[in-house]
């Protein structure tokens, strides 16, 4: 990736910050949830920040779109797969722009090709090659919110490309790098990154901060909060990434005034004061260990 994709040079210490706010599928699952997202965005706009929003498709939509491409032909063309599955995010970007306009927030939707978000040619699992942030920055500086369809870009063949499942996290972090944003807020259905899966271990604790390296390890080992590639990008470009819940009341006083309500900040190790020896435990459900005992210690026996 090129120079304009370089590590953010701004410090965010001033009153006004530039934020990327990303909302996943459960956060935009229906019209009420989209209106809730609009309130989260309005809160940041009212606080004086420049905001670019990245949205996923409504929960379940991408699965349905993928299923249709398989049903119509198991061996379908990857370019047409992308044409179909990229539509989920087009819908939510337009709906959120309407919801924002409806509450008096100046907003405009953007598809990947309009920015453009340039990808490589690996249709269906493309990687972002470059994002030209110039047009968006111009709009942000005019006070307009950019609502960007996640998960998609445009490939060298000038056709729509998608980034692989869960790719809107990567869209958000890459956009934050390109826009030199002060922070990338990932709004999801959990309030942060936990030491292990709280649904399995009730005593799991939320981490207030975790380093890029440790988050990368946890994501690679199966923690599902973020797509692995988004964490890689955050680490390479130094994008401070804050995982938080969209289910909090968007107008709660602590959210309006505080910088860091409940959530987990993924950041440089230097920003973490209290270092833990073990940050977390990720798990995988599709692996098993089988012990065979009393097997003669001779070549070929175990294999047989």
206 binds ligand ASP (CB under 6 A): no
166 binds ligand ASP (CB under 6 A): yes
| Residues contacting residue 85 through CB under 8 Å, at least 6 positions apart | 62, 65, 66, 69, 151, 162
Check the CA dihedral 282-208-263-204 and report its sign: positive
167 binds Mg ion (CB under 5 A): no
Helix intervals (H) in the chain: 31-46, 61-72, 78-85, 87-102, 134-141, 168-178, 212-220, 228-237, 253-257
Query: Residue 129 in 3-state DSSP?
Result: strand
Sequence length of the chain is 304
Considering CB distances under 5 to 8 angstroms, the limit depending on partner class, which of ligand ASP, Mg ion, none binds residue 167? Answer: ligand ASP
62 binds ligand ASP (CB under 6 A): yes
Query: Residue 200 in 3-state DSSP?
Result: coil
CB-wise, 107 or 149, nearer to ligand ASP? 149
Considering CB distances under 5 to 8 angstroms, the limit depending on partner class, which of Mg ion, ligand ASP, none binds residue 263? Answer: none
Bridge-based pairing of strands 128-131 and 117-119 is: antiparallel
In the window 4-33, what residues touch ligand ASP (CB under 6 A)? Answer: 24-25
Among 166, 167, 192, 250, binds Mg ion (CB under 5 A): 166
CB-wise, 26 or 36, nearer to Mg ion? 26
153 binds ligand ASP (CB under 6 A): no
Q: Contact residues for Mg ion (CB under 5 A)? A: 24, 166
Q: Contact residues for ligand ASP (CB under 6 A)? A: 24-25, 56-57, 62, 88, 150-151, 165-169
């Amino acid at each position: 990736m090129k120079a304009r994709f370089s590590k953010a040079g701004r410090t965010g210490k001033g009153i006004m910050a530039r934020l990327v706010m990303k909302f996943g599928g459960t956060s935009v699952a229906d019209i009420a949830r989209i209106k809730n997202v609009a309130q989260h965005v309005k809160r940041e706009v009212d606080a004086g920040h420049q905001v670019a929003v990245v949205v996923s498709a409504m929960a379940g939509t991408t699965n349905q779109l993928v299923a249709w491409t398989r049903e119509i032909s198991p061996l379908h063309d990857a370019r047409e797969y992308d044409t179909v599955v990229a539509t989920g995010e087009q819908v939510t970007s337009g709906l959120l722009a309407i919801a924002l306009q409806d509450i008096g927030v100046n907003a405009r939707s953007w598809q990947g090709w309009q920015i453009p978000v340039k990808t490589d040619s690996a249709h269906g699992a493309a990687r972002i090659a470059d994002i030209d942030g110039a047009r968006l920055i111009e709009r942000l500086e005019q006070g307009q919110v950019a609502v960007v369809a996640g998960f998609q870009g445009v490939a060298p063949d000038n056709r729509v490309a998608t980034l692989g499942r869960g790719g809107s996290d990567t869209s958000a972090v890459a956009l934050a790098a390109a826009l030199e944003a002060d922070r990338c807020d990932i709004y999801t259905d959990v309030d942060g990154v936990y030491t292990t899966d709280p649904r399995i271990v009730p005593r799991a604790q939320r981490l207030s901060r975790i380093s890029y390296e440790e988050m990368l390890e946890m994501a690679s080992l199966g923690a599902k909060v973020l797509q692995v590639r988004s964490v890689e990008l955050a680490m390479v470009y130094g994008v401070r990434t804050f995982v938080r819940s969209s289910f909090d009341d968007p107008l709660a006083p602590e959210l309006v005034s505080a910088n860091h309500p409940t959530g987990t900040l993924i950041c440089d190790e230097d920003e973490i004061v209290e270092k833990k020896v073990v940050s977390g435990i990720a798990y995988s459900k599709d692996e098993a260990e089988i012990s065979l005992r009393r097997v003669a210690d001779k070549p070929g026996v175990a294999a047989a």
